Chains A and B, each alone.
Chain A
Amino acid sequence: MGEFLQYVINGLALGAIYSLVALGLVVIYRGTGHLNFAQGEMALFATFGAWWIYDRGVTMWFAVIIATVFAFIGGAVIEFGLMRPAGKKSPLAVVVVSIALFQGMNSLTNLVFKESSDGVTFQSLFPNEPLDFYRLSGETIWRFQDLGILVTVLILTGGLFLLFQKTKVGLAMRMVANNPDSAKLVGVSTNKTLMLSWGIAAALGAVAGAMIGGLNANLNIFTMFEIFLLSSAAATLGGLDSPLGALVGGLLLGVIKSLVSNYPKDWAGSGYVNATTAVAAAFVIILIVLVVRPSGLFGSSRVERV
């Protein structure tokens, strides 16, 4: 029992990171109806930026905050300069640009931060010494790192919820997500709102990158790809247009991954369970859910006029 709880606790931290990235995907999907394939790699670039700033001699928190602000600006610029013109061309153009951006941001990171190919040690935002944990009971511990990540994500999610539900800006974002034409007709600048959505998503990604860097104590050119895949799986599971779904989907996936990686210790098949199998298993689960509920657990079905 204690073991089970431990795996769940460990899984929550990783799951929280998936939730954060998934949240970014959901914010953009709600606003534009498109999936941001570059979400992970944009976060990678921002996180390497944070590492670079930290290397210049400031605290990690300061570095991450600066990187997040720049990520926000970068996201808005990408929306304005790339995605909006592409959207005017065709939906397929948006997909192609998104995929090209995915590859491009990864290559850019490799180019600008040469150390990314080998990887760098990443200082965690939270205390991460071997003795930094709470003892819950018996052998079960909760590392400060894991707790810190979970709490940060919950706070950010809560903040986003308040933004959406209680502020005018959030109302504008919900309007544009639901009916962009009507939003224009009540005086919303859809352009500004979409730039804001992209900025928020990029910022969330930057924070997520810092957290995974801290969790792995390492950051390299491949770090964000698997995160992106699993976060998209989480967002799909929860419903691409549901922030709550992103949160639940991410946490669920993280816990499942932790359990699947750790439990079948004595099975004959235990040699087959590794990181990639977990991804495969995640996608199989998603597929099953999509067959039963095509719009995900919490998503809303769209009526398409023929």
Chain B
Amino acid sequence: MTVPFTIQQNSPQHWAARTGAVAVLFAGIYYVYLTATTATLQSVTEATIIAIAAVALNLLLGFNGQISIGHSAFAGIASFVTGYTVSQWDWNPYQSLILSVVVCFGVGFLVGLPALRLKGPYLALVTLAVAFVWPTIAAQFLEKKIDDTKLAGLRLDPPGWTGLEGNRADRAIYMYWLGLLLLLVAYIVVRNLRKSRIGRSLVAVRDNETAAAVMGVNLRLTKTITFGISAAIAGMAGWLFAAISDTIIPRNFLILQAIIYLLALFLGGPATYTGPIVGAFTYFFVDRYIRQNVPDWTFLPAIVQGGAIAPLLLSIVVIAFVFVAPFGLVGFFKTQGRRFMNVAPQPLSDPATARLQQHTSAATAAESE
């Protein structure tokens, strides 16, 4: 039985390990930029959209315990707001990003208000209904009947200072980096929120509302604002979609998308920082692989051909994960990793507790010898 190699939290070794991991990650991203085809870069950006939405959902569901099967509505609203303001009002696309985020925050906050009264299945149902209904509302606003609701996408051109031009390859490069930047922003927002005092109240509310309220957490504010921020981040995903698309139609953001966000989150690992990102990318590329290759797997019976297999496999994989790896891929790897390396928590500053900790760790070290 291998004894795990232990390092102290926040020690120089810990910092070195984390910096090393980030460096490897950045190297990987840069490598992909250098060597990938345009199509692959575009795919990464598509996966990034799902990742941002999953990060948003993680904030609400993983950390705050409010279940939403309707986050596609927020992404959809953002993409529509963006498409509309840019094509009808001639706005700068980046201004539209800000507006979309703000609008989504507002809508999320509004949805969060009745959500205060609802728990579990009731809340899930209402969010499902929101996801079902938002295209109609968008159609109302666009004064068209629902099937005609279509907006021009942005097909965003890279700005001059990047040295890139307005052709397909360069746009893909630009969106690749922009998408990853937005994902980084989302990741930082959620991580910092979680580590702050507000983050602690979020989790307290998730674990036991009554106890949290009794300890002074403002339930209403916490839950509604979390809903708003989560929706706003999902809005970023919607903007990104608008930025890379030729057209925007409601069908891009229906229930299936909301379910994909949920399932990607569970695949990766809820209530972790990297879980939703890992889950989203894994889902996207495995799904793509299946779609491209299943027609060639002639050993499968004829009924299993065609794209319809992908959502089914997704469902099966998620169900399998619930039993095999309930904390998702990230949780699984963390557990395996802990067999080799352990991060010991930082000793507390109070001298008596520190002495106790030292005594306990000495005793445990003596035991394992």
Interface, chain A (partner B; CB < 8 A): 29, 34-35, 37, 82, 85-86, 89-90, 93, 95-97, 99-104, 106-108, 110-112, 114, 225-226, 229, 232-233, 236, 240, 271-272, 274, 276-277, 279-280, 283, 287, 290-291, 294, 306
Contacts and interface: CB of A to CB of B under 8 A. Distances in A.
A287 B326 contact: no
Contacts, number: 120
B204 interface: no
B318 A100 contact: yes
Contact of B315 (A34, A104, A287): A104
A96 B129 contact: no
Residue among B69, B121, B263 with the most chain A CB within 10 A?
A: B121
B132 A103 contact: no
Contacts of B146: 274, 276
B266 A96 contact: yes
Nearest to A225: B255
Contacts of B311: 103-104, 106-107
A97 B319 contact: yes
A185 B95 CA distance: 65
A97 B319 CA distance: 6
B132 A229 contact: yes
A97 B304 CA distance: 22
Contact of B128 (A106, A108, A114, A229): A229
B98 interface: no
A99 B303 contact: no
Judged by DSSP, the binding face of A is helix
Nearest to A294: B117
A93 B136 CA distance: 32
Residue among A29, A102, A271, A287 with the most chain B CB within 10 A?
A: A287
A23 B295 CA distance: 41
B266 A233 contact: no
Contact of B318 (A37, A96, A226, A233): A96
Interface string B314-336: 11101100110010000000000
A272 to B, nearest CB: 6
A276 B136 contact: yes
A225 B125 CA distance: 12
Given A107-B310, A232-B125, 7 more contacts: A86-B323, A95-B67, A103-B312, A108-B312, A229-B128, A233-B129, A283-B129
